[in-house]
Structure 1
Amino acid sequence: MGEKIDTVKAGHRKMWALGDYPSLAAEIIPSLGEVLVRAANVTSGDRVLDVAAGSGNAAIPAARAGAKVVASDLTPELLEAGRRKADADLEWREADAEALPFGDAEFDIVLSCVGVMFAPHHQAAADELLRVCRPGGTIALINWTPGGFIGEMFATMKPYAPPPPPGAQPPPLWGDPDHVRTLFGDRVTDVTARRQNIQIDAFEKPEDFRDYFKARYGPTIAVYNNIAGDPDKVATLDAALADLVRRHDKGTSPLTVDWEYLLLTAKRA
């Protein structure tokens, strides 16, 4: 079992090192980290852990707010990109979201911005978020919803992706408030869950969006790598992703699409 988990995690690390997720996070969704930090009420002196932090989209604004921040992620390439761009003092730690190398109740606030949702075993990851948060502390999450644009993008790519490892659950389930409440159970109080949108207007055409993700977004690159030997499948997926953007486009210039996410906060019981 341990060897299988190690193989799964090695695959995840490799996937997120593909392309250039740090540039995508900085160019397309930089505001999400700020939204999460505000929702968590991060203040000076708070001990904050950002789980699956990537290149620090939430960790860096938390550190700017004066918190003592640890940014943890499974993929060292993302952490290194965060170190290079950080304009605040924080610690960067390589760590598995399902087995965090921190003590019980070590942090006042535990954050994750479209990060922990990609850990394959949701209950294990949720248990770790709770374990490292002190009683009365805050857990704050932003996750893409199943019915929003990114959730639909994953559904569109799924037929072309390699089969998920045994026991893995779909990432966008973390954007379903009932799923997250089930994961946390009675170990949290004061749960608030709001669906919100981030407006994306960085692309002129649907094909521009698709090609940007094909070049930069690890999960999309991995799917295309899986079908690289089948030109018909590549062409079909190319068309499906462009059509997805067209369906969500608000009909303005430049092309404008809302990406729905779930903003959830809770107190550790």
Structure 2
Amino acid sequence: MNPNKALWEKGDFTQIAQNMRESGEELVASLGITKDFTVLDLGCGDGTTAIPAARLGATVVGVDIARNLVDAGNRRAKAEGLTNCTFQEGDATDLHELKDHTFDLVISIFGAMFAPKPFDVAKEMVRVTRPGGRIVMGNWIPGDPTLVAQILKISSAYTPPPPEGFISPMLWGVESNVIERFEKAGVAKENITFQKATFTFHAPYPPNELVNKFRNYYGPTMNAFEAAETNGKALDLQHELEALFASQNKSTDSSTTSISANFLLVTVKC
């Protein structure tokens, strides 16, 4: 099986996405989407940004490599009666099932950044965007002191070195790399803009329970715990993550969680 597909089908990202809904809606509301838009949400999960875009009346296609998340997204759309929103399985490095210049807006929030072959990903996003359209990416930032970058940094210390030729998904959070990838896809540097933004994880339970959600349902963290268990270090990893989550929790109620994470918001004009 495709290793990336295996990673994201391993857990159940819907358990994490439930804590990201509010920020997903806020981000979509800022994009000027109307009912005339055709939108592709790439690496869509179960619809954290696709569903709010469809609620605004846009025609939305969500594409994800994980079959379980595609199925979950279609269930959500059906439950809300959103006939203008469909989810399908696909690979961000090769969107052969999608025609050239189809979409007014291509969104990928913490999605396509995890696909291998980043130059292919950029090329495909540009290819399916119509001239005059936009690509909007949200990418975690390497070394950032906030939650997700630190989860991935801590987890990497417990896992074996990646295979030769591996390109870190976090490099999508470096402006120079983003520019290089989209320039190779035919986009002029001046048509690529950046800003730092935040996504907030809201949970109706304490931070240590959110840690357990990541441990049990988030593929990269699941892999880190499996590796740590073989080395007898799973408890160390648990303690590190619990300390991180507790230190970053901004909720004034100890029984709930509110943690913000910085990301790089990329806008590409095609």
> CA 1:41–1:70 in 2, change beyond 3 Å: closer, same or farther?
same
Once superposed, which parts of structure 1, at least 4 consecutive aligned residues long, lie more than 6 Å away? none
Identity %: 33
Structure 2 CA distance for aligned equivalents of residues 12 and 35 of structure 1: 28
> CA 1:202–1:128 in 2, change beyond 3 Å: closer, same or farther?
same
When normalised by structure 2's length, the TM-score is 0.86
When normalised by structure 1's length, the TM-score is 0.87
Structure 2 CA distance for aligned equivalents of residues 128 and 103 of structure 1: 10
Quick check: 2:8–2:219 contact (8 Å CA) kept in 1? Answer: yes
2:266 is the counterpart of 1:264? yes
Aligned-residue offset at 1:95: 0.6
Match of residue 7 from structure 2: 15
- Write the letter of the residue equivalent to 1:210: V
Structure 2 CA distance for aligned equivalents of residues 79 and 30 of structure 1: 17
Aligned runs of 1:124-203 on 2, under 5 Å?
Answer: 124-146=120-142, 147=144, 148-185=146-183, 187-188=187-188, 189-202=190-203
Quick check: 1:36–1:141 contact (8 Å CA) kept in 2? Answer: no
Structure 2 CA distance for aligned equivalents of residues 205 and 54 of structure 1: 24
Match of residue 4 from structure 1: none
Segments of 5+ residues of structure 2 without an aligned counterpart are: none
Match of residue 253 from structure 1: 253
Which residue among 63, 74, 95 is the counterpart of 1:100? 95
Quick check: 2:122–2:182 contact (8 Å CA) kept in 1? Answer: yes
Q: Indicate the SS of the match to 1:140.
A: strand
Aligned-residue offset at 1:207: 2.7
Structure 2 CA distance for aligned equivalents of residues 121 and 63 of structure 1: 29
Quick check: 1:32–1:113 contact (8 Å CA) kept in 2? Answer: no
- Write the letter of the residue equivalent to 1:202: A
Aligned alpha-carbon RMSD (Å): 2.2
Which deviates further from its counterpart, 255-264 or 103-112?
A: 255-264
Quick check: 1:137–1:267 contact (8 Å CA) kept in 2? Answer: yes
Segments of 5+ residues of structure 1 without an aligned counterpart are: 1-6
Aligned residues: 258
Aligned-residue offset at 1:212: 2.0
